[in-house]
Structure 1
Amino acid sequence: MNILIIGGGGVVGQKLARRLAERGELRGQTISSMVLADIADPPQPEAPFPVASASCDISDAAAVAGLIDESTDVIYLLAAVVSAHAESDFDIGMRVNLHGVLNVLERCRALQSAPVLVFTSSLAVFGGDVPDPIEDWTIPNPQTSYGAQKAIGELLVNDYSRRGFIDGRAFRLPTISVRPGKPNLAASSFMSSIIREPLNGQEAVCPVDLDFPHYYLSPRRCVENLILGAEIDGDAMGSSRSMMMPGRTWTIGQMIDAMTAVAGPDPAKLIRFEEQPEINAIVKGWKYDLNPAKALSLGLKADDSFEDNVRYYIKDDLPGA
């Protein structure tokens, strides 16, 4: 079993690589090798099998061709230009989120080896005038360039699977919180920083009010779902390979209360509320009443509480913990 993680330098990619190294197997087979690819060589986890790093810009078809060959059994396609970045720079969003994904799919088609391909999409494919609750089969209506690019990626994964070029599956990720590291250019970045920074003794800015609801999943649970997502039999997914990954909806106030329940009252005092119109313009259009029925029926899971999300961050990622 040879695994390729494209986007292997990111938070989810690194956690996925470490978890696969611990497991040592996927889809009932022993892992023979793993390659982590990103725009710069990603760090490699210790593993009982060979692990390699590769630098690859997926918008370069030749670079993608050098990354994927007939021996590649499972591809995790995690790489993306995130929401606010794709909105502010249309060209780079299209280059990576659309043409980069197409380059990967076309390489698989050319090889005729039909690898399992796990594509991370986004709930940003929904928006505008859509019904509540949103179901897996609700027609995407993205209101950002990022959402549109992800929706196109889903359609391509579905059609390339129908044609037998890949064995694909696309998971619309909830916002992953609490993410370790520094804030990124995602519009949702504050949804981790308002927990992460206070737990690190640093001030954080929240651009929305306490009643703002959103749909979340912890990094730990996301990784477990991505592993199970690769192991699901393609026929079990039916005619559509796209589905929501399970999460839960909490308000900002509930998230802060969860942090207080786990870590005491002091971290919450470091949160400052300050409106940011450019962020509000994006996140206010996101929908929150979601029914991930297909993924739940296939065994994927949400976190039990946001207190768990906080505990996972403290145990897995808090510096010095």
Structure 2
Amino acid sequence: MTFKLTSHYFLERRGLKLGHVSVPEALAMPDKQTIMKVWKNDQSIVLPKLLDEHLPPYQADIQRAHECMEHTLNGIELGKTLEKSGAIKRLESEFSFLASSMEEHDEQAIEKLYFDAGDEKNILAEDLWCKASWLSFHDEDASLRFRFSFGMEGYEDVAADPERQHWAGELCTQIFPESELITKNPNILKHLTSILGHEPAFVERIVYFNAPNGGAQFHHDVERGHAGVVFAQLSGATFWLTASKPLLMKAMYDFSKQYPIKQELKNLLENDKLLSAYMEESDHAWVEELIDQTPEFIQYMIEQGYSHILQAGDVLLLPQRDLNHCVWHSVFTLGDEPGEALSFAVR
């Protein structure tokens, strides 16, 4: 699972060539006051090499996770993979494996496994699930994710049921033990406790495998009751663009004064309220074309200092205060191999 960065990468995602990036010099670890200040200012911050000394005991788990990814890509049912790896047996003391579904109604879904938490006498949490999905519809993007939650997907108010949130998180730990690299890391716990004023809970967990030609377009992760997201790179490397919503809107406006853009978007950029509302629509194609598909804009964001590179052992904090101040982020895979990462919401 070793990966070494070279000095220069081309940025490509889902068939689009979107520029290039040079790898900067190694970052120094920010101090506690800087971390708190940056979070409170709705900015992302990298904690470089935070996990380096903690990774070795979990290398076998990370290897098994990569094998799980490969089996999923090869069409092997997730339930069978977890049975063969011993994961189903491992979780039997606290969870009951109920059923699996191919989720044919969801084009991006691969398979969904259902569980209850508890024992033969008491059910502590019902209708927990692990869902494997593609990150895009692009034929050359093999990126996928394993998401852990509960209830009716798309309609659940996860903040309303902290007990099931907790057990969905425990399910993630049982299937992917390397989750403890976040949940039991003393430095992460210390920093987040200082930021939040209480010990954090890690909920709505996702295990990502960003593959070459894949990643994620600009989006945010605002959800009621959540303060932000902790992202940990466990293998491979990723390139990020991150900016709070007001700063991203300003970047679009400033860019439009230097480069030609569509008149429809130019009109929106003159009205912050309309632009902000449009960005929250499921179809915001005019903005998407600029921020996700325009190489010149991506290069502009890099030049303005909105980029990060993560490699194994690095952690990224992404505050998500509310819809008006959340950190939007865009992700690219660096290198020729997929990498595993953890993305856990913080409550």
> Which category of TM-score, normalised to the shorter sequence, fits these structures?
under 0.3
The structure, 1 or 2, with the larger RCO (C-alpha pairs under 8 Å, 6+ apart) is: 2
Structure with greater helix percent: 1
TM-score (norm 2): 0.26
TM-score (norm 1): 0.27
Structure with greater strand percent: 2
